[in-house]
């Protein structure tokens, strides 16, 4: 089981620099080059640089992953939110699943550092509050874009095959109710995953 945990953590940590530098390379291409024949070259350079960084540091990062400062963990979590948000073009639904990753990591961190049981509940609340807060910011950003985009209502109508016009009031309802559901789901996923990981370790 520990080997599986290490492989999962290695995949999450090891993907960070290749993805970040690949994205940075594309940004550089977009602002400084824009030649249609070269974006793949820029991406490849970013991915290779990220892979080289992993080759040098990844093993040490994995070994120390449960001793990282909390600000480092929070920064990685936020960066992954940016990746998912950008990949799905501002649709925040899939950002919810990052709550699972947060719960998984902090559940194992609690067990690895042998945190006393009386502190578990407080930590679960703190981590859940943090993931809920980040998801709130994601939903606000996505909702703002949806409300400002006059084509969003038509897109919703087309995607769901509706035979009526999606009004401004409906859009507000979708943004507010949908956003609250996504935030609540993120919080619950974080809490359930953390508690389950701790429970599984305690039963061994």
Domain boundaries defined on the chain: 1-63, 66-204
Q: Which residue has the tokens 């960084």?
A: 53
Determine if residue 47 is left, alpha or beta; phi over 0 gives left, psi from -120 to 50 gives alpha, anything else beta.
alpha
What are 170-178's contacts with CB under 8 Å, separation 24+?
171/146, 171/147, 172/147, 174/146, 175/139, 175/143, 175/146, 175/147, 176/143, 178/139
What are the pLDDT digits (tens) for 54-87?
999 999 999 999 999 999 999 999 999 999 998 8
Tell me the CB-side half-sphere exposure of residue 164, using CA atoms within 13 A.
4
What are the pLDDT digits (tens) for 134-190?
999 999 998 888 888 766 666 666 766 767 777 778 888 888 999 999 999 999 999
Q: Give the integer Cα–Cα distance in Å for 143 and 149.
A: 10
For the whole model, what pTM was predicted? 0.88
């Amino acid at each position: 089981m520990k080997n599986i945990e290490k492989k999962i953590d290695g995949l999450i940590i090891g993907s960070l620099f290749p993805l970040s530098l690949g994205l940075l390379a594309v940004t550089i291409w977009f602002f400084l080059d824009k030649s249609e024949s070269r974006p793949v070259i820029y991406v490849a350079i970013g991915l290779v640089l990220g892979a080289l960084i992993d080759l040098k540091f990844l093993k040490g990062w994995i070994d120390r992953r449960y001793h990282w400062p909390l600000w480092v963990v929070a920064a990685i979590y936020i960066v992954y939110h940016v990746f998912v948000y950008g990949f799905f073009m501002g649709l925040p639904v899939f950002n919810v699943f990052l709550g699972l990753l947060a719960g998984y990591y902090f559940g194992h961190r609690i067990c690895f550092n042998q945190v006393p049981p009386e502190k578990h509940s407080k930590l679960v609340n703190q981590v859940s509050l943090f993931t809920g807060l980040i998801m709130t910011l994601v939903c606000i950003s996505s909702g703002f874009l949806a409300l400002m985009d006059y084509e969003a209502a038509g897109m919703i109508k087309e995607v769901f095959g509706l035979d009526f016009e999606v009004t401004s009031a409906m859009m507000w309802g979708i943004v507010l109710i949908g956003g609250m559901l996504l935030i609540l789901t993120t919080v619950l996923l974080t809490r359930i995953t953390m508690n389950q990981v701790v429970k599984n370790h305690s039963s061994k």
